[in-house]
Amino acid sequence: MNTLSEPLPSLGGPSVTARSIIDRLIGFRTVSRDSNLGLIEWARDYLQGHGAKTRLTHDASGRKANLFATLGDSHKPGLILSGHTDVVPVDGQAWDTDPFVPTERDGKLYARGSADMKGFIGVALAQAPQFVAALNDNRLDAPLHYSLSYDEEVGCLGVRGLIRDLEENGIRPAGCVVGEPTSMQPIIAHKGMHRFHCCVRGREAHSSYVTHGVNAIEYAARMVVFVRQVADRLAQSEQRDYGFTVPYTTLSTGLIRGGIATNIIPSNCEFHFDMRTLPQASADAIYQEIRAYAASVEREMQAVDPLSGIELVWDSQTVGLAASETDAIVQWVMRLCGNPNVGKVSYGTEAGLFQKMGVPTVICGPGDISEAHRPNEFVALEQLAQCESFMNRILQTSLRHLISC
Ligand SMILES: [Zn+2]
C-alpha cells in the first residue's frame, strides 16, 4: 500500500486492466470533427455495469455527447474526474506508427490521445470497481463522478452543455481533478483562451485599376499587423506572472485565406487569431481595442465602397483557471501526489469552466503536454502507473473536507 505524502512510485507501467481500457479508448477515432459516440456509449455501458448513474448531453447534431456518470449517492456532492474524449487531427503529420493503434516501445505508449488524454481517462475508468468497493464499505465517504466531454480541442465547447445540465438539475460537485497531461504535477492556474476570426469584405477589380477596388487582403494585413502590435505592447508592458512559461498575455494569428489570382484585387480575406490571457487580464478590453481599430480601417474602406467592411467575431472563450495553493482541493491533490510544488500552464483546459461553476478545480494527469498534438504522441508507461497510484490514494483519503470548502 502506498504511503500518502510520498512521491508517487514509478512502477514500470499501469495494470493490465487500465492498459486494456486505454488501448480500447485509443481505438475510437475521436478527432474533434468526428463523432465521439462510440467511445461515450462504450464508457457509459461500462460504468453502468458498475452501477453508475449516467447522463448524456448531446450537441445539436446528435453526433457527439458528453457523459456525466456517478458512482455512489448522486444526491451528495462528490469528486469529478474529468477528461475530454476528443483528440486533435493527424492530417499531414509524419507518424512512424498507426496513430489509432496503441504501440508500446521503450517504456512508452505511442498513439494519438495517449497523453492528451485517454491515458488518464483509461486509468480513471479502470479504477471504477475499486471505487465501488470502497463506497460500499464506507472507506470512501463521497461519490465519484466521471465527466467525459467532446470538442475540448476546438474551444472547450462540449463541457459547457454538461455544466449547464448539472446546474439545471441542481448537481453541485465538491471538487474536480482535470487529468490533462501535467506529468502528475498539480497545476493551479492556466491562461484564458479566446479565438476570433475576422472577415474583410472589399471590392473586386482588375489589378491594373487599383483605384476601382478595395483590396481585402491589404486591409486584412493591416488588421493582422495591429493584432501583432497589441501583442508586442503587452509583451513589453503587462505585469508579469512568472508562474507561466510565457509570463504575459499573448495574441497570435494562425490562419489566413483570401484572393483568387495575382491580377485581381481581392474582394475577400479572412483570418483567425487567438489570445491567451493571464487569469487576471481583461480579454474584453483587448477585444474592444481591436474592434475600435477595425472601425477606423472600415471607415477608410467605405470611403471607396460603402458596401465594404470588416466583421470581427469572438468565436470562443475559455476562462482562465486561478486556484490558490491554500485551496482544500489543491492541498489534497498535492498530498496525494506527494508533490509540494504546484505549477501554472499556458494552455487552456476545461478547469476554468468548472471553477467558474463554483467547483474547486485542479489539473493533474499523466504525460507531458509537450508530447501532445504532435506526431508520435506518447505517454510514458511509468506516468500511467503514477496516475494509477494517485487513484489508489484517493481510496485512502477522506473527501469530506473537500465538501465543506
Ligand atoms: Zn487536452
Three-class DSSP category at 223: helix
pLDDT of residue 405: 43
Please report, to the nearest 10 degrees, the dihedral formed by the alpha carbons of residues 364, 34, 158, 380 taken in order: 0
Q: Residues whose CB is under 5 A from ligand 1 (ion)?
A: 116-117, 180
CA 270 and chain centroid, separation: 25
pLDDT of residue 397: 83
Distance CA 200, CA 226 (A): 14
pLDDT of residue 398: 78
Phi then psi for residue 205, to 5 deg, are: -160, 165
Alpha carbon distances (Å) from 21 to 119, 122, 247, 387:
9, 5, 38, 14
Ligand 1 center to 215 CA (angstroms): 39
Ligand 1 center to 400 CA (angstroms): 29
* Helix or strand (DSSP H, E) at 384: helix 381-394
Output DSSP code: residue 239.
P
Output the nine-digit C-alpha cell for 135: 463506497
Location of C-alpha cell 494585413: 221
Output the nine-digit C-alpha cell for 256: 489566413
Q: Please choose, from the candidates 8, 65, 4, the residue with its C-alpha nearest in 3D space to the C-alpha of residue 389.
A: 8
Output the nine-digit C-alpha cell for 11: 512502477
Please report, to the nearest 10 degrees, the dihedral formed by the alpha carbons of residues 321, 30, 181, 380 taken in order: 180
Output the nine-digit C-alpha cell for 34: 468526428
Q: What is the pTM of this model?
A: 0.86
Location of C-alpha cell 467532446: 150
Angle (CA) 386-387-389 rounded to 5° is 65
pLDDT of residue 403: 65
Ligand 1 center to 349 CA (angstroms): 7
Output the nine-digit C-alpha cell for 22: 486505454
Output the nine-digit C-alpha cell for 219: 486591409
pLDDT of residue 108: 97
Distance CA 353, CA 170 (A): 17
pLDDT of residue 224: 98
Ligand 1 center to 372 CA (angstroms): 8
Q: Are strands 205-206 and 264-265 parallel, antiparallel or unpaired?
A: antiparallel
* Helix or strand (DSSP H, E) at 254: strand 250-258
Q: What is the pLDDT along the chain (405 residues), one digit of tens a residue?
A: 445 678 888 778 999 999 999 999 999 999 999 999 999 999 999 999 999 999 999 999 999 999 999 999 988 899 999 999 999 999 999 999 999 999 999 999 999 999 999 999 999 999 999 999 999 998 898 999 999 999 999 889 999 999 999 999 999 999 999 999 999 999 999 999 999 999 999 999 999 999 999 999 999 999 999 999 999 999 999 999 999 989 999 999 999 999 999 999 999 999 999 999 998 899 999 999 999 999 999 999 999 999 999 999 999 888 999 999 999 999 999 999 999 999 999 888 999 999 999 999 999 999 999 999 999 999 999 999 999 999 999 988 878 777 654
Residues taking part in catalysis = 86, 152
Ligand 1 center to 88 CA (angstroms): 9
